[in-house]
Amino acid sequence: MSKYILPVFIIGVIIVGFIKKVPVYDSFVSGVRQSMDLLISILPYFCTILIAVELFSLSGLNKYLEKLLEPVFTALGIPSQLCELLIIRPLSGNGSIALLQSLYLEHGADSYIARCASVIVGASETTFYIATVYFSTVKAHKLRYAIPVSLIASYVGAVVACIVCRYI
Amino acid sequence: MNFVFFLMVAISMIVLTIISPDSAFGVMLSGARKSIELALSLFAIYSIWLSILEIMDKIGLNKQLNKLFKPINKRLFKGESDKALEYISLNLSANLLGMGSAATPMGIKAIESMSDGSEKASDNMALLMVINATSIQLVPATVIGMRLAAGSASASDIILPSLIATAVSTVCGVILSKLCAAISKKLRKYKPQSSAKLNEKDNTLPLASIGKKSKDVSCKAPLYHARGGDK
């Protein structure tokens, strides 16, 4: 069912647009042009943040942070196997998907660990990507409390996920 | 952001240089290369969504969506223009439907139309970012697909837990950001030298206003060039 939503929606928009005499071709050209401008303003931030993330994960620093935070996470009721995922999740979308895959292979897709991990990935977002990309075209680069609040709220969600998965 | 970035890069570089000095530069390079690959794929996705968005705007679908979300948005994002609210409701509905790739360009447009050119993010911008960062997806389709592929017997049994977790995290995020907004408002009242006060008392503080003007000019100049370059 859900696989029809996207194509049907796009067909609907184009057909209604055509009936209402919207220049569909010109709209696409202008959309791509906007996307190009967007790309140019995003890329510097994107590149910078990915250099930092790459350094962070390949230097083994994430493993140290994991060890540091493990007692905190286990005290909150989060299994220690999920610590790595919780640290990578706000930094890298692809990284956390890859990690989720390896958790499935290691523990089985229907295990408690795998279910918790699925809920954590499904119910959160790549916070640092959002923080850099959303604000890339405006001058506002002092995000004040936005990042810490997002991280705290996401971790509250993760704790809830581990509790809920135990009972549902 | 500057401080977080410095910490991440400096400590990682030091550790890498100690462990394997040969690879330190290569790792930086591979990060940069990844960003270009990812940016190109994002360019493709944004091109399609911004085009669809343009047509949606012209057939008036955006206004209708805006009406649907107005009762909530008006309370959450007080004092925003209709155009900004329109983009916010587009962003939220794309998020709810799990179209993350469509949500991003709409979120960027929302932030753009909320911006007043100041260097600090406003409370409403921060709130929009927090809502996006805590995810409000109704059905985590990607994860369910991955579980199916991994041989799960009941791949969709994570829908309800995800819904609960995401609802809790989003509500928690909204409450926390409203709290932070209220606290920073109070702090601004007590601090006489804060930027808010300077703006109000431009006439009585000539020095401050001169400083502010020169800053404005220096900020506007590169912006003008960038715009000219685009055309």
pLDDT tens digits for A102-158?
Answer: 999 999 989 999 999 999 998 899 998 898 889 888 888 888 899 999 999 999 999
The per-residue pLDDT for B92 is: 92
pLDDT of residue B211 exceeding 50: no
B residues 21-50 lying closer than 8 A (beta carbon) to A: 23, 27-28, 30-32, 34-36, 38-39, 42-43, 46-50
Closest Cβ–Cβ partner in A118, A158, A160 for B158:
A118
Any residues with CB less than 8 A from the CB of A137 and at least 6 apart, and which?
A38, A41, A42, B108, B111, B112
Q: Looking at the complex, report in whole angstroms how far the Cα of residue A144 sits from the nearest Cα belonging to chain B.
A: 7
Confidence of residue B118 (pLDDT cuts 50, 70, 90): confident
Closest Cβ–Cβ partner in A31, A55, A105 for B27:
A55
Confidence of residue B181 (pLDDT cuts 50, 70, 90): very high
Best B58, B88, B131 member to test A by mutation, with max A CBs in 10 Å, is B58
Query: Among A3-17, A64-78, A80-94, B191-205, where is mean pLDDT lowest?
Result: B191-205
- Chain B residue with the nearest C-alpha to that of A16: B59
At residue B120, the 3 state secondary structure works out as: strand
User: What are the pLDDT digits (tens) for B77-104?
Assistant: 988 888 899 999 999 988 888 777 789 8
Complex-level ipTM: 0.87
pLDDT of residue A19 exceeding 90: yes
Size of interface A-B (CB pairs under 8 A): 318
Q: Where are the domains of chain B?
A: 28-120
Best B108, B157, B185, B188 member to test A by mutation, with max A CBs in 10 Å, is B108
Q: Is B20 within 8 Å of chain A by CB?
A: no
The number of beta carbons lying within 10 Å of the beta carbon of residue A105 is 11
The per-residue pLDDT for A119 is: 94
Closest Cβ–Cβ partner in B39, B55, B140 for A43:
B39
The pLDDT of B56-71, averaged and rounded, is: 88
Q: Looking at the complex, report in whole angstroms how far the Cα of residue B206 sits from the nearest Cα belonging to chain A.
A: 25
The per-residue pLDDT for B193 is: 53
The pLDDT of B4-11, averaged and rounded, is: 86
Tell me which chain A residues have a C-beta less than 8 angstroms from the C-beta of B146: 97, 100-101, 104, 118
Q: What amino acid occupies position A79?
A: P
Confidence of residue B116 (pLDDT cuts 50, 70, 90): confident
- Chain B residue with the nearest C-alpha to that of A139: B119
Q: Is B65 within 8 Å of chain A by CB?
A: no
Tell me which chain B residues have a C-beta less than 8 angstroms from the C-beta of A68: none
pLDDT of residue A2 exceeding 70: no
Closest Cβ–Cβ partner in A100, A145, A158 for B126:
A145
Q: Is B140 within 8 Å of chain A by CB?
A: yes
Closest Cβ–Cβ partner in A17, A55, A138 for B12:
A55
Average pLDDT score, chain B: 81
User: What are the pLDDT digits (tens) for A54-102?
Assistant: 898 888 888 888 888 899 998 998 998 899 899 999 988 888 999 999 9
Confidence of residue B189 (pLDDT cuts 50, 70, 90): confident
The per-residue pLDDT for B212 is: 42
Task: Give which of A128, A149, A127 is closest to B184, Cα–Cα.
Answer: A149
Six-digit token pair at B33? 């290369």
The per-residue pLDDT for B133 is: 93
Of residues B231 and B159, more confidence is placed in B159
Six-digit token pair at A81? 């196997």
Beta bridge partners of A142: B120
Contact A122 B51 (CB under 8 A): no
The per-residue pLDDT for B217 is: 40
Best B123, B139, B168, B187 member to test A by mutation, with max A CBs in 10 Å, is B168
HEC profile of chain A: CHHHHHHHHHHHHHHHHHHCCCCHHHHHHHHHHHHHHHHHHHHHHHHHHHHHHHHHHHCCHHHHHHHHHHHHHHHCCCCHHHHHHHHHCCCCHHHHHHHHHHHHHHHCCCCHHHHHHHHHHHCCCCHHHHHHHHCCCCCCCECCCHHHHHHHHHHHHHHHHHHHHHHC
DSSP for residue B158:
G
B residues 192-231 lying closer than 8 A (beta carbon) to A: 219, 230
